Amino acid sequence: MVSNRKKDSDKTPVKQGAEAVSSEPNKIADSTPYDFEAKNLTAYGGLLPVATMLERLGFQQLVEETLTVKRIPRAMSIYQFVLAMVLAAYVGFSRLYHLRFVARDPMLTGIVKCTFWRFLASLHLGIAQQLLRVQCRMRERAWQAAHVGLRAVTLDTDTTVHTLFGNQMGGRKGYNPKNKGKRSYQPILTFLAETREYISGELHNGDPPSGPEIARHLKSVFGALPPPVETIFARADSGFYCWDAVAAYEARGVQFIISARKTARLVEELKAAEWKRSPRPDAAGQCEFRYQPEGWRKAYRFIALRYEKKSKPPEAGEPEQYQLFDTPEYTYRVFVTNMHRAIDLLVWFYDQRAGAENLIKEANNDAGLRAYPSGRWLMNCNHFQLAMLAYNLNCWLMLFNREEEAKVETLQHTTLATARLRFLFLAAKIWRHAGRVGVSYSDHYAEQGIFRRLMERLRAIENEGQRFRPVLATALRE
């Protein structure tokens, strides 16, 4: 018998590198024992980055310096009440009645439903404006620490309809295409297109906002912008087509485009205009002209696209779209603007404001904006700003969690619902040892690298006198 001496005498080489650790599957059946004896477990371990960001940016100091509350609660301080309501909305418990489900959670300890209702009912109407000032200061600090250097921003202003099913004060029967004849609110909101932040807004009754109300809202928006901003672009639908809005934009030097509302005089101008071929494949033509609507102090540039009418007649009772109006031959889209760019480019720029509708939907569904807690107007106004503060927490966290090389064009927006699934709903254990408190997460968490990076950046936030030191090396610019 001939043997291969080299083959038989050589040792088997050791495998290089660590093998993937695969845990055996846990078999769970009907006979699996269970108990309720484990302590300090939480399903909201992702609140640690939120708490870290708020502490590093001095949120408690801002709340205590800005809010003027006469009623001094015994159960918790004013800051603790505000923080608990904002974090509850951030977690997803937008209604005060639902707070009882997290009353015993280690991350949200001590929440009592009735106490919160009484506290919210005791706040005066000025608290809503004070909460807006708190958000303005927090935005400045978050931009400094996250190294956001935007000098040109785009403002998207819109209204939404919140159908009311109770006897809430301020409800009106007005424009409500989904629930015709129902009472509703029509709040006004303005978002920053680049970072998706909520800038300013207010709860409004069911009537359409008047011209002076729109002008007052826009002035509050301009005052809430961070100092680095120099150039402002603005987009709004036909609900803001009025001289008061145009005058407010002009006074601030804003470059705006607003969808026009159908009038008899405007239709005559469209018919008399010189139409040209449009580079947009869906349009039958385009034109521009100078026109001064009734009540306006001067003429402005109007641009328009027209589309051939489809042969199919509209269904009975179908509402007219907010930026389209018909004549016997064509359907038109008309805009008023003070910008001098090409027509097709301006229409493309205006179409990008559709993202604001998605942000409003996110605030309604995820932040609990339309979950009004009471029939009282004051309570609902204050709850409105608390819900939008919870919405902004997610936007500020995303600024700290972005990639170093990210630009405005590539900056991805993670909705609040997605952020909860990825970073908030984390099973964790809170431990105490040798006078220290810590949080332990699962070793199977898929986003460990991103979570560690976020925590390192948040813990590196430092206040250097009047400014916060940037924790990202590359500034976010347009």
Tens digit of each residue's pLDDT (9 = 90 or more) over 306-348: 988 775 555 555 555 555 666 667 888 999 999 999 999 999 9
pLDDT at 112: 45
Which range among 74-78, 88-92, 293-297 shows the weakest confidence by mean pLDDT? Answer: 74-78
Helix 47-56 vs helix 78-91: crossing angle, to nearest 10: 140
Distance from chain centroid for Cα 181: 29
Alpha-helical regions (H) of 46-112: 47-56, 59-66, 78-91
Place 421 in a pLDDT band, splitting at 50, 70 and 90: very high
User: Is residue 274 classed as helix, strand or coil in its secondary structure?
Assistant: coil
CA distance 342 to 308: 22
Beta-sheet strands, E only, within 58-195: 104-105, 108-109, 152-159, 162-163, 172-173, 183-185, 188-192
Q: Answer with the residue of higher pLDDT: 336 or 181.
A: 336
CA distance 352 to 99: 37
CA distance 201 to 196: 14
Per-residue pLDDT tens for 239-267?
999 999 999 999 999 999 999 998 999 99
Given a cut of 80, whether residue 144 has pLDDT beyond it is yes
Place 22 in a pLDDT band, splitting at 50, 70 and 90: low
pLDDT at 110: 44
pLDDT at 364: 93
Average pLDDT, the chain: 87
- Of 320, 354, 322, 350, nearest in space to 337 by CA: 350
Tokens of 270: 């469209």
Given a cut of 60, whether residue 367 has pLDDT beyond it is yes
CA distance 191 to 395: 11
CB distance 234 to 155 below 8 Å: yes
Q: Answer with the residue of higher pLDDT: 424 or 5.
A: 424
**Rounded mean pLDDT of 39-62?**
92
Alpha-helical regions (H) of 277-432: 343-351, 354-365, 377-400, 416-419
User: Is residue 370 classed as helix, strand or coil in its secondary structure?
Assistant: coil
CB distance 140 to 392 below 8 Å: no
Sign of CA dihedral 254, 255, 261, 265: positive
Measured in Å, how far apart are the chain's first and last C-alpha atoms? 79
- Of 180, 259, 176, 246, nearest in space to 218 by CA: 246
Q: Answer with the residue of higher pLDDT: 321 or 408.
A: 408
**Rounded mean pLDDT of 388-413?**
93
pLDDT at 117: 78
Per-residue pLDDT tens for 80-136?
888 888 998 999 888 777 666 666 677 766 444 457 778 888 888 899 999 999 999
> Is the pTM for the entire model greater than 0.85?
yes
CB distance 185 to 206 below 8 Å: yes
Quote the percentage of the chain above a pLDDT of 70: 88
Place of tokens 């418990």: 93
pLDDT at 113: 46
